[in-house]
Structure 1
Amino acid sequence: MTDKNVQFPQLFLRLALSVTMLSAVADRFGFWGNNSAWGNWENFEAYTRKLTFFLPESLSAFSAYTATFFEILFPLMLFLGWGTRIAAFGAGFLLLVFALSMTMALGFKAPLDYSVWVGSAGAFLLAVQPKYLFSIDHLTNKL
């Protein structure tokens, strides 16, 4: 497979993962209005408590903040193409933990409906690419 065969699908995957994850963050801060899944931080924390039923409540709240931090950091890195491999592995693991938590708390259907497994797999696929065209990583490697 040549670089030309993968450059646009790779860029599309990078941007799709980035925008999708940032959309989830926007939702928990109420930016999507009536089209929200959570609509506000309190609803998101309640949802996080449901998914992390096996943790004490204080750790559940901490996991909501931690997940949000990484759901902002990794997508921004992916969007810019800066530290792409690290960001892709991070997003893959974050989505994998989310998929496993959803499966344990809500059953198999929920993570399938929200394509969390696909997002995780896509992030891991992106992480193992040999280089990242259209990225800051690619520009800095050329210098």
Structure 2
Amino acid sequence: MKDSFKIPQLLLRCALGITFLTPVSDRLGLLGAPGTGNIEWGNWENFINYTTTLMPFLDRPMVNIMGGIATVSELLIGILLIIGFKTKYAALGASLLTLTFILFMIFSVGIQKPINFGVFTATTASFLLSRMPNYNWSLDNLLKKKES
């Protein structure tokens, strides 16, 4: 059977990887100063202030920890998706992480924000990627060939 997912899964991996790495870059101030261009946060403080609105039941130190966990998770998932290493697990993690974002956003700021930010799309696309049979042009595929 011909694998018709070669290019689509590569593009999906890259698109999702960039989708995870861009907000990390934004909150670390790598994309520009707050209020310029399409910068959402521009620094860690603004990101944590926003995260506080999503988790009003937590005190500020715990929000910092949760923001750190989310940031490290997004960074790791983004890199793993782009290089194609442990892709199935990275994609499943991406889906679960963005589903968590959806729930926090709905309960704190309403359903429109996750719709505007494309979080439903990222969740669904990540889940779809986790179900792909093969990950061509990936470290997973390269390592599988070396084992054979």
Q: TM-score, normalised by structure 1?
A: 0.95
Q: Percent identity, please.
A: 39
Instruction: Select 1:135's aligned residue among 121, 131, 138.
Output: 138
Q: Which runs of 5+ in 2 are unaligned?
A: none
Cα deviation digits, residues 89-113 of structure 1 (max 9, x gap): 1111111101111111110100000
Cα deviation digits, residues 33-63 of structure 1 (max 9, x gap): 2121001100000011111113233322111
| Separation in 1, partners of 2:61, 2:14 | 33
Q: Which runs of 5+ in 1 are unaligned?
A: none
Question: What corresponds to 1:18 in structure 2?
Answer: 17
**Which has the larger share of helix?**
1
Amino acid at match of 2:2: T
Does 1:113 find its partner at 2:112? no
| Alignment length (residue pairs) | 142
| Separation in 2, partners of 1:55, 1:133 | 42
| Separation in 2, partners of 1:79, 1:14 | 6
Does 1:65 find its partner at 2:68? yes
RMSD across aligned positions (CA): 1.1
Question: What corresponds to 1:40 in structure 2?
Answer: 43
Amino acid at match of 1:142: K
Q: TM-score, normalised by structure 2?
A: 0.92
| Separation in 2, partners of 1:31, 1:58 | 24
